[in-house]
Amino acid sequence: MSILLIFDSAQPVYGVILVTAALIALFAYPLLASHGLRHIPGPPLAKLSNVWLSWLSRTSRINTILHEQHKKYGKVVRIAPNHVSIADPAALHAIYGHGSQALKSDFYQAFVQFGGTPSVFSTRSKEEHARKRKFVAHALSMRSVMEYEPTIAQYQRMLVEHWDRICSDAKKTSRGTVGTQSWYSKDGRAWLDIMHWLNFVAFDIIGDLVFGSGFGMVANGSDVVKIAKSQTAALESFDSDKHDLDTDEIPAVKVVLERGDHVATSAFSPAWFRPFLRFFPATNKGRRAMELFGNLAVTAIARRLLTSPDKVDLLSKMVEIKDDGGRTMDGRELAAEATTLLIAGSDTTSNSMCAIIFYLAKYQDIQSILQRELDDVLGSPSASEVYDDHDKVYDRIKNLPFLEAVINEGLRLQSTVGGDKVAMLKAFAPFQIGSRACLGRNLANMEMTMLLATLLHRYHFDLENPAQVLAIYEAIIRKPLECIVGVRRREEVEA
């Protein structure tokens, strides 16, 4: 859908004015300013205006369509008058590596909330990024991350208890529910959508690590959480004695998806055009979702500041750090970083784990090899009848070569890079590289390693149709739409 087709017919005046302004700006300006990119191939419309890129952001197939354009036009494709897409491993270090002079574009301004307060992720200034990085990097160092293993294991245990009960009930009844999640029994397996459960685990883990307590999603089998109705009131409560906030309930996982839609639409639109997006009814839901997720972050901060947890969390580490000028983060900066941590630590991690389990269920021989490696370290699957020492498992599994290879292949699988291993490794950057590399990569690796090892050691996964393709929703990030798999305890499979 192009941006010219999003208007509500009930707003004809706005429509005529905005269409006229958009046509003039979108077509006249690019014709007058070449940006030195005229020689670069790409879709004809993309060379003339941002309409093609705006349409792309609304397709839910951003990566797939861009890949098709690269197959058609080559390694460098012009996708807007002043925007190129590069699919060349050699460009990775040149653009993102240490020493690069490239700056983040105004694309990242679309992520900014809280009165224009950027996070360490969204700031475009190298100096401000260095300052903000200091607040967050210590809390996510490998030394700090090792302290978080018990928290990760706590929510893994909750998930295992649910799935054990579901597998047991599947022998006795045809279907059931846990919270908002349903399952059914067929061929001796419990069939369920693991995407939701992995979202719940990831949200609770990052919530506990950042704010000292989770959101109750795993325990309740639901993503419904309470948030402050007013973001302003929640922010003002940080430094006041007023802590009684009016609250509402939201489905957090759904809100994240709708937020991603809005960010994609905004980020891929010209910066000058973004203020006009509020006149487009199709963007209302996404704008509201962005506000609601911000409310989720500030509500969690407000609740955390009222308590004194018996463990160190990321928030307590961040508020203690001072920059080179002796300043700590203010309330809006805390909100910006908390929002970034929630998104980065929940949706991306759960998406990756879901895809990995899907492909292991699809390729049974690979699943069997991994399970044999895990058995050599953790014992036979029957030994996991009680959770045992899976809450102290990381040191035993962190260097398992096949487990590491499975995780890396899962992270790479949607990549356009092929060929020899050396070339692939040079282009393999799931957590980005250089000074802008993901600060949470140590935590993400630990969480994925622990959870995948525990689940693959304990359960066997199947697809109902081995030819099934994992349906992906593509916006700012790539998210599986659903992942229904058959689950059985392994000792039952191997008996």
Predicted confidence pLDDT, tens digits, the chain (495 residues)? 233 323 233 344 444 444 444 445 554 455 445 457 888 999 999 988 888 988 888 888 888 899 999 999 999 999 988 889 988 888 888 888 887 788 888 888 888 888 888 888 888 888 888 888 888 887 788 888 888 899 999 999 999 999 999 999 999 999 999 999 999 999 999 999 999 999 999 999 999 998 888 999 999 999 999 998 888 888 888 766 666 788 899 999 899 888 888 888 888 888 888 888 888 888 888 889 989 988 998 898 888 887 776 777 888 888 787 888 888 888 888 888 888 888 888 888 899 999 999 999 999 999 999 999 999 999 888 755 555 555 678 989 999 999 999 998 888 774 433 444 555 556 666 666 666 667 778 888 899 999 999 999 999 999 999 899 998 888 778 888 889 999 999 976 665
Q: What is the pLDDT of residue 102?
A: 81
Same domain, 229 and 312: yes
Q: What is the pLDDT of residue 413?
A: 74
Same domain, 151 and 257: yes
Same domain, 79 and 183: no
DSSP-assigned states of every residue in 185-196: EETTEEEEEHHH
Same domain, 272 and 379: yes
Asked which of 27, 62, 87 is the last residue of a domain, the reply is 87
pTM value > 0.95: no
- Residues 495 and 367: their CA atoms lie apart, in Å, by 17
Could you tell me the two tokens for 376? 């050599």
Alpha carbon distances (Å) from 43 to 56, 62, 66, 86, 329: 12, 14, 10, 14, 44
Q: Is residue 118 part of a domain?
A: no
Q: Is residue 215 part of a domain?
A: yes
Same domain, 168 and 281: yes
Q: What is the pLDDT of residue 270?
A: 82
Q: Is residue 261 part of a domain?
A: yes
Same domain, 260 and 381: yes
Residue 86: count other Cβ atoms within 10 Å of its Cβ: 14
Same domain, 152 and 235: yes
Same domain, 212 and 311: yes
Find where tokens 């639901």 sit.
Answer: 222
Q: Is residue 106 part of a domain?
A: no
Domain of residue 401, CATH code: 1.10.630.10
Same domain, 242 and 347: yes
Q: Is residue 487 part of a domain?
A: yes
Structural domain boundaries, residue 185: 138-493
Same domain, 229 and 363: yes
> What are the beta bridge partners of residue 226?
249
Count: domains in the chain:
2
Angle at 193 between CA 366 and CA 371, to 5 degrees: 25
How many H-runs (helices) and E-runs (strands) does the chain carry?
22, 11
- Residues 389 and 245: their CA atoms lie apart, in Å, by 41
Q: What is the pLDDT of residue 115?
A: 85
- Longest Cα separation, the chain: 73
Same domain, 268 and 146: yes
CB 283 within 8 A of CB 265: yes
Q: Is residue 121 part of a domain?
A: no
Residue 203's Cα: distance from chain center in Å? 10
